[in-house]
Structures are given as C-alpha cells and as structure tokens.
Structure 1
Amino acid sequence: MLYVTIYATQFFVTASLGVVFAYLADLQDRYGLSHLELGIVAAAGFAAGLASQLLLSPLVDRGHHRAVAWISVLSAVAGSFGFVFATAAWSLTASRALAGVSFGLFGLVARKALIGRDITGSGTKVGGLLSCAVAGFISGPAIGAALSGISFEAPFLLTGALMAVLGPFAAVLIARSSIAAVPVDYSDLGDLLRRPRVQAAIFVHVGVWGLIGVFDATVDRYLTDVGLSSNQLAIGLLIIGVPLILLPPYTGALAERLGGGRVAVPALLLFAPAVVLYGWIGGLASFIVIGVMEAVGESYSVMGAQVLVLEATGVERAAIGGGVLEAIGLAVAGAAALAGPPLYGQIGSRWLFGGWGLVCFALAGAAALRLKAAKIPPKGTTLAH
C-alpha cells in the first residue's frame, strides 16, 4: 500500500508540472509575457525546489518526515489551483514556485520512506519513483491537450483536485513509515560535498538537469516554431518518455550491482551527442528519434548518480544526500530555464543545445577524474561512513 500510494502521488505531482510545461507558449501568448518573463516563470519551480530541499532535507533525516510530507502535498494542491486564478507574471511565478516546492520535497521524503532502514534494493525502489515521476511529467501535456477544449483552466483544476484527494493519504502513510533517523545538521552538507563520489554524481546530475532546464523552458516554443501542434508535442513526449518510465528500476539495480560510477559516466558520454542533436529537430519523427536516444542515456545517468550518492551516505543520510544532489541539479536547471528562452531567441536551437552537449562531455571527464580519486572498490562496494 505504501509503494502504490507514494508512486501514484509522485505521478500526479509531476503531472501538474507537465501540464504547465505544455502551456508555456500558450502562457506567453495569452498573457503577453516577454521571453525574460517566460524564463522567470519556468525557472521559479526549479528555484523553489532548490531552496526547499536545501532547507528541509536535514529535517527528514532527523525524523521530521511527517511535516515535510504535508508541506509537499499542500504545495502541490495550491500550485495547481494557483494557475486557475493567475493572470499576470507574478502570480504565474508564484504558482510555479509552489509546484516546485512540492516537486522538490515529495521526491525527497518519498525516497526516504521507500528506503526505510535497509539500503539493500534501494536502486530499484528509487528507480521506480523516477519512473512514476517521468510518467506523470509526460502525461501532463496529454492531460492538457485532452482538456484544453473545455477550458484553459480545466487541466489545472483536475490535477489540483486529484492531489487534494490522493495527497493526504500519501502524507499519512509516509508519516507512519519506519525510517533511519540520525541527528544530522547543515554541517553535514559540507562533509558530503567534499566526497569524491558525491562530486562525481553532481557533475553527472548537472549535465542532465541543465538539459532539463533548457528543454522545459524552450522546447514548446521551439517545436511550435518548427511547426508541431500541441497534440503532436504531447504524442512526442509520451513516446520519448517510455525509456524513462521502463528503465529506471533496472538501471538502478544495475548501478547498485556494478557501482554507480561505472554506470553514470559512460551513460553521460552517450547522453551528450543526443543533446547536441536536439538542436537539429525538423519535425515530429526526428524529435522522437533524438528524444528516445536522450531518454535512454538520461535513465542510466540519473540512476548511476543517485546510487553513487547512496554509496556515500548510506541509509542514515539518504535524504540529505539526495537533497544536495537534486538541489544542485535544480539550481542548474533553474539557471538554464531562465537563460534558455532569451538564448533561444538570440542564437537559435543549434547553438543552444550544441553548446550544452559540449558541456556534458566536459562534465563526464570531470566525473571520471573524481571517481579515480575515490579509488572505487570492485562492484560498487558501499562506503557509507
């Protein structure tokens, strides 16, 4: 019951973000937002997720997972309903920020509850959570497209109502779950950041989340300019999301068996060329082919990075470790989302995505050097302390 409810709630948390993602170009046209204002709206979710994770992740490891679960659920409901009433850049930004708080915190506290007191099998459990998150995100545009004929507000009303019904059940189950609580504090952040494994995971995560930020803020505008309709965008996202729905439990298990570093770095090297090719999309078919390539690389990269962090933290500091990793990823994604629309308008898609692809190659090299410094033992032997 715990797994099903948490996974379902994670689906709807990210579905609400996916609805917004598909409406970015519509928001710009509907409310007359500039490229900068559109970037601010897109970046607000990442920035809010970053702040909430850094501030509250130590509390989860200390045993205050109940309060964090309720904050996440209430933020999800408020964020969805906020888009129903928002009419200006500031209110759209506030709604997006509330959705970002929910996205940042729910994954954090859900991961802690799923892992419980035994780190064995955590790769598969965390991979399942990622699968549901991706499934929700790519379903958001389909929900938006299906309900757009009713009204602009209908998709946000639906996701808000579903979270209002399901979210409290998830919060109660998380509150009752048995977790490994330890007296961590904010000084543990610095300790984790000095560990080579964590540094390597951060490099990999930065590469992936930088693309997510650019993609989130620009691809709707980009593909609209290419000539794709909202329905075609929704179809394309559903197809390219399939690897990220199916693979994470298996890639997580593989990373746990072989070692996170042995999965994450090679995957990022395969991920980078797909990022470059994103700048050359000419229609729906090329979007799907390139997107599937990118999604496969992302599923291995992200799960390798998350297992790397778990190797460093163990079960006791899983929340703060995951919080550090994702907060840095969100910071990069927020900056990329803020800069993405203006850069797209100035230099175009080929330079924008091509440039980030080159950054990913450099990040893979940096991660490999940090893993060499960590002196990885065979088959990912855990060094949690």
Structure 2
Amino acid sequence: MNAEQKTTLWIVLAVTVAMQAGNGTIFGLIAEIQDAHGISTGQLGLISSALFAASLVSALGLAHFADKGHARRMMIIGLSIGTASTAWFGFATELWQFVAARALCGLGVGLFLAAGRSSVARLSALRAGQNLGLMVAAETTGFVFGPTIAVLLYKLGSLATPFFVLAGVQGLALVFLVTRKADVESKVRPAPLPLWKLSGLDLLSSPKVLGAALLGLALYLPVGVYEALWSRYLTDLGASTTFVGASLTLYGVPLALMAGFGGRLVDRHGAIPMARRTLAILVPIVAIYGVAGSYWAVALVAMVESVVQAVANPSAQKAMVQACPPERIGNGQGLSSAFGLAGAGLLSSIAPAVYSSLGAGWLFAIVATICAALGVGAFSLYRKGDPLAAAPLVI
C-alpha cells in the first residue's frame, strides 16, 4: 500500500477503537445497572437484543451506501449516534431508556462498521485479510478496554461517570475524523439498483455468498450469550466487578495483538481453509464455557478463544469479500453482519431465560451445537457454484 492508503487505514483503526470503547462500556457494568435499577435477568435480554436489532436494520438497510461514495459520511454519522447513545446511558434510569439507548448504539455501530470494514478491505486486494484482521483488532481493543476503563471510573465516581467520560472520548474521535483527510471511498461505483436489491439480499442467490453469511453467523453467534450474560455469569461464579472488567481485557489483548497476524495467515493459506480449522477449535471452546466451574477458568478459556478468533474473524470477512462482486463489497459486509446480528440478537433475547431455567452447561452446549451445524452448512454451500463475479477485486 502507498503512504496515503496507510494513513487512511490508521485513521479508520484509531477511530474504530474509540467507537467500540463506548459501545462496550455497558458490558462490564450490566450487573451493576441491573441491581441499581431493579432490572430482572430476563429483562437483560431486551437491552441486548435492542442493540442487535438496530444493528441489523443498519446492516441491511444502510450498508449499501458504503459502495456509493458515502463511506466517510456513514462513519461520521455512525460515530455521532454512538456518542449520543453512550451519553444517554449516563442519564438513563428506567428499562425503556436503557433499551432505547442500546438500540441507538446499534444503529450507530451498524453504520460505522459497515463503512469501516468495506473501506479497509478495498485498500489492497493482496492485503485484504491483513487489513480486515487489523480492523478486528481495533474493534476488539476498543470493546474490551472500554469496559475495563468503565469499571475503574465506576469505582472512582458513580455509575454514570464511565458513560459520560467515554462519550467524551467518542466525541474527540469524531472531531479527529471530521478534521482528517481519509480516502475511504470505493473507486468502483455499482450500477443503480432497484429498491429491493439495496439490502443486498439478492446476493444470497449465490451459494458462496450464502455460505459466507452463514460462516459469519457461526462465528458470531456466541456473542449473543456474552452480551447478555457475561457479567451476570461471572458474578454468579463469585467474580468481583473489577474481575469482570479485567476478564474482558484478558480476552481482548491476545485478539488485538494477533488479529493482524491472523489476517496474514488468511491471505497466505486461504479464507475457507483457515475458517474450517478455527471453527473446529471454536465449537468445543464454547461448550467448555458452560462447565468451566470457576470465573478464573472461564477467563482462561476466553483467552484461548481470543487467539482462535484472531484468525476466524478475518477469514469469514475475507470469504465474503471474495464471494461478492467487487462493486458490492459494502453490501456483502452488511449481509455478513446482518446474519451475525440477527442470530446473536435472537440468542441474546432468550439466553437469560435458558440460563435461569437450565443452567450454563446446557446453554453453552446448545450454542456450540448450533455453531457446528451452521459451519457444516456454510462450508457445503461455499463449495457450490462460482462467485457472482469472477473478476479480481478492483481497487
């Protein structure tokens, strides 16, 4: 990549860290919010599913604008919405307010990530996997250090303090993005599409695109459980609020450090071969969460998972890039996100009830089984037919 492309990449990565730090703030404090405002464990699913539902709307309804020269505008609007939603959490006192703030966050995150991922994938055809891996690292760094910082700020101030401070960080990132020149737009414009094709759902007629979307779902599905129950589960195992925040750091550091390397492995050995290997490791890891027995064991399992995800995430994203026509990469990334968000959102809405009635062992065993079945279907579909566009990626 040339100097301008490298500058663009690092601008996108830096702003992504700030965006995801605000998004992840609630993750380490959900048990405290639940106790402070009288929210039941079952109602936690409403807060979590609001994020996924709104992100799904963004992914299907708005991701196509990233292919039409609006990627930078999408990132600015998405970050603005994310900043507002994080601040709203600081003021919220009732369940509907938390649900609405999380939905607003989902809308902003969906806009921002659809534009960001498609932009870094286009920067270099030969380094698409590595760049997507770095994007995964940036997303993870923000998402896991945000809760860690939030827990410390909560200890120093009040429950509202972390949300106001991290909303301020997002606001500074917004100023940085607006004032910096980043060439994130596609150089290839798609032909005008009829309204029914704007969501990208028409691409699912390709077995490869459908397979890539199912692969993204298989890898992202467990996030629905983590979003709704990570804090609650560790707290039930005896973990302190400080440890809950630290556990997210233990998960995030290996993933953040290794995602770039994982992306290079994907570029070298192929997206599907690496996805097949990593999913075979990920499935038993998810099942082990339910029988780990102690919060320390859960944290250690999470560290192992993070290493696997450092390769799995860029492999799924690059598989979608390769399956889509080059002028519709944004649509493809939106589809992949939509499948993952829809599945994780549905799971997050029912996981607390399953956890309460059947326990962690059954919950994680069921999720692992679903991930395995989705993976088998994804790889079978990806082998069928040709990509929708046989032409190489045009930058």
CA–CA distance in 2 between the matches of 1:174 and 1:115?
A: 18
Long gaps (5+) in structure 2: 1-6
Q: Which one of 22, 29, 52 corresponds to residue 28 of structure 2? A: 22
Letter of the aligned partner of 1:120 in structure 2?
A: L
Aligned with 2:146 (options 140, 158, 165): 140
Provide the rounded CA distance (Å) in 1 between the counterparts of 2:357 and 2:89. 29
Tell me how far apart the structure 2 counterparts of residues 111 and 169 of structure 1 sit (CA, whole Å): 19
Cα distance, 1:67–1:293 mapped onto 2, change above 3 Å: same
In the alignment, is residue 335 of structure 1 matched against residue 350 of structure 2?
Answer: no
Alignment partner for residue 75 of structure 1, among 69, 75, 81? Answer: 81
Q: Secondary structure at the match of 2:222?
A: helix
Shift of 1:183: 3.0
- Deviation string, structure 1 residues 135-160 (Cα, Å, up to 9, x no partner): 11111221111111211111111111
Does 21-30 or 292-301 show the bigger shift?
Answer: 292-301
Equivalence for 2:249: 238
Kept after mapping to 2: 8 A contact 1:204/1:268? no
In the TM superposition, residue 173 of structure 1 has moved relative to its aligned partner by: 4.3
Instruction: Indicate which of 37, 43, 46 corresponds to 2:43.
Output: 37
Instruction: Spell out the pairing of 1:216-365 with structure 2 (5 A cutoff).
Output: 216-365=227-376
Does 159-168 or 171-180 show the bigger shift?
171-180
CA deviations on 1:158-212 (whole Å, 9 max, x unpaired) are 1111111111332454775442232353426234212222222222221222100
Alignment partners' CA distance in 2, 1:299 and 1:176? 26
Which 10-residue stretch deviates more, 82-91 or 358-367? 358-367
Q: Deviations over 1:322-342 (max 9, x none)?
A: 011001111111111111111
Q: 2:384 is matched with which residue?
A: 373
- Tell me the distance in 1 between the aligned counterparts of 2:13 and 2:393: 27
Call closer, same or farther: CA 1:260–1:171 in 2, change over 3 Å.
farther
In the TM superposition, residue 285 of structure 1 has moved relative to its aligned partner by 2.8
- Corresponding residue for residue 3 of structure 2: none
Question: Equivalent pairs: percent with the same residue?
Answer: 29
Please state if 1:94 is matched with 2:100.
yes
Does the CA contact (< 8 Å) of 2:130 and 2:263 recur in 1?
yes
The question of whether the paired residues in 1 share the 8 Å contact of 2:42 and 2:353 is answered with yes
Q: Which residue is 2:190 aligned to?
A: 182
- CA RMSD, Structure 1 to Structure 2 (Å): 2.1
Return the alpha-carbon distance in structure 2 between the equivalents of residues 123 and 46 of structure 1: 25
- CA deviations over 1:262-309 (Å, ceiling 9, x no partner): 111221111000000010132243112211222222222221111111
Contact 2:70 2:185 in 1 (8 A): no
8 Å Cα contact 1:69/1:175 also seen in 2: no
Query: In the alignment, does 2:166 pair up with 1:159?
Result: yes
TM-score, length basis structure 2: 0.90
**Separation (CA, whole Å) in 2 of partners of 1:198 and 1:162:** 37
Q: What is residue 109 of structure 2 aligned with on the other side? A: 103
Q: CA deviation at 1:119?
A: 2.5
Q: Say yes or no: does 1:120 pair with 2:126.
A: yes
Q: Is the 8 A contact 1:119 1:315 kept in 2?
A: no
> Do the aligned partners of 1:43 and 1:334 also contact (CA within 8 Å) in 2?
yes
Selected match of 2:176 from 163, 166, 169: 169
**Alignment-mate amino acid for residue 336 of structure 1:** L
Query: For each residue in 1:209-264, what CA deviation from the matched residue of structure 2 results, as whole angstroms up to 9, or x when unmatched?
Result: 21001111012111101000111122222112223112222222222332211111
Change (3 A) 1:312 1:223: same
Change (3 A) 1:116 1:331: same
Note the residue ranges of structure 1 that are not aligned, 5 or more in a row. none
Match of 1:47 in 2: 53
- What letter matches 1:202 in structure 2? A
Q: Which residue identity is paired with 1:187?
A: K
* Counterpart-to-counterpart distance in 2, 1:118 and 1:8: 19
Alignment-derived partner of residue 6 in structure 1: 12
Total equivalences in the alignment: 381
